[in-house]
């Protein structure tokens, strides 16, 4: 029986497309990927494009979003070096730096990664702020504030461990908000008012001289 050339051509095209889909996959500009062979790590892919693979179940491809993820913590109580309770809210931006380690640690689950980042950031924040005075964060004298220094110190602690242990790159970290517990708000305001009055008296004295 003579076959229709159009039918044969169509079948050939479909066969090529099927083979292409079976033996290749695409990594987008915003993604990284890990390829495993029989469940064991084979290679990481961090560059976008069409990549080759063996069909499942021989090889399996895990694709992860590599765009920066935003992480925020709600107010948490932290004690300064001079033993003042301060409510601090911290934010951070992170992305996947080592796809293999990210897969092994979290099975590619972003929520699990953020659950791991939570105590890491909290401990770093508590440790750093505990080495600074309250006036480094809250003061009527702007020149005495050390926000940038404190943020850099927290970032350095978190960045190294997140990268080396979890395959996560912390791109930025900062203090979003500060607050005071109700129990000490009035005491702090009185202290700040007294500090401002001392500055006023100083300037008045200099003016009179």
Residues 183-190 have a mean pLDDT of 61
Distance CA 151, CA 106 (A): 27
φ, ψ (nearest 5 deg) of residue 67: -75, 160
Total Cβ atoms within 10 A of residue 85:
14
pLDDT of residue 189: 62
Distance CA 174, CA 29 (A): 28
- Whether the ω angle into residue 17 lies within 30 degrees of 0, i.e. cis, is no
Task: Determine contact, residues 195/134, Cβ cutoff 8 Å.
Answer: no
DSSP assignment, residue 69?
A: E
Distance CA 6, CA 47 (A): 39
Task: Inform me whether the pLDDT recorded for 62 exceeds 70.
Answer: yes
Q: With 0-12 CB in 10 A as exposed, 13-18 as middle and 19+ as buried, what is 31?
A: middle
φ, ψ (nearest 5 deg) of residue 207: -65, -40
Task: Inform me whether the pLDDT recorded for 12 exceeds 70.
Answer: no
pLDDT of residue 171: 95
Total Cβ atoms within 10 A of residue 41:
13
pLDDT of residue 3: 60
Q: With 0-12 CB in 10 A as exposed, 13-18 as middle and 19+ as buried, what is 8?
A: exposed
Within 4-146, residue ranges assigned H as helices are 5-23, 99-106, 110-129
Distance CA 2, CA 72 (A): 69
Q: For 34, left (φ over 0), alpha (ψ -120 to 50), or beta?
A: beta
- Residue bearing tokens 């021989």: 58
Q: Residue 192 has which token pair?
A: 């700040």
Percentage, residues of the chain above pLDDT 70: 81
Residues 76-98 have a mean pLDDT of 92
Q: Residue 47 has which token pair?
A: 């560059």
Task: Inform me whether the pLDDT recorded for 56 exceeds 90.
Answer: no
């Amino acid at each position: 029986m003579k076959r229709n050339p159009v039918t044969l051509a169509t079948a050939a095209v479909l066969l090529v497309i099927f083979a292409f889909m079976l033996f290749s996959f695409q990594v987008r500009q915003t993604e990284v990927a890990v390829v495993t062979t029989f469940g064991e790590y084979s290679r990481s892919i961090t560059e976008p494009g069409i990549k080759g693979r063996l069909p499942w179940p021989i090889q399996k491809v895990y694709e992860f979003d590599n765009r920066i993820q935003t992480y925020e913590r709600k107010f948490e109580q932290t004690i300064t070096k001079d033993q003042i309770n301060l409510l601090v809210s911290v934010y951070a931006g992170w992305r996947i730096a080592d796809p293999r380690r990210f897969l092994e640690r979290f099975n590619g689950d972003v929520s699990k990664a953020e659950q791991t980042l939570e105590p890491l950031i909290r401990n770093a924040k508590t440790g750093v702020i505990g080495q600074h005075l309250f006036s480094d964060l809250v003061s009527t004298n702007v020149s005495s504030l050390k926000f940038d220094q404190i943020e850099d110190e927290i970032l350095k602690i978190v960045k190294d461990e997140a990268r080396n242990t979890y395959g996560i790159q912390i791109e930025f970290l900062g203090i979003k908000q500060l607050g005071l517990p109700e129990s000490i708000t009035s005491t702090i305001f009185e202290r700040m008012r007294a500090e401002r009055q001392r500055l006023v008296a100083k300037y008045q004295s200099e003016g009179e001289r």
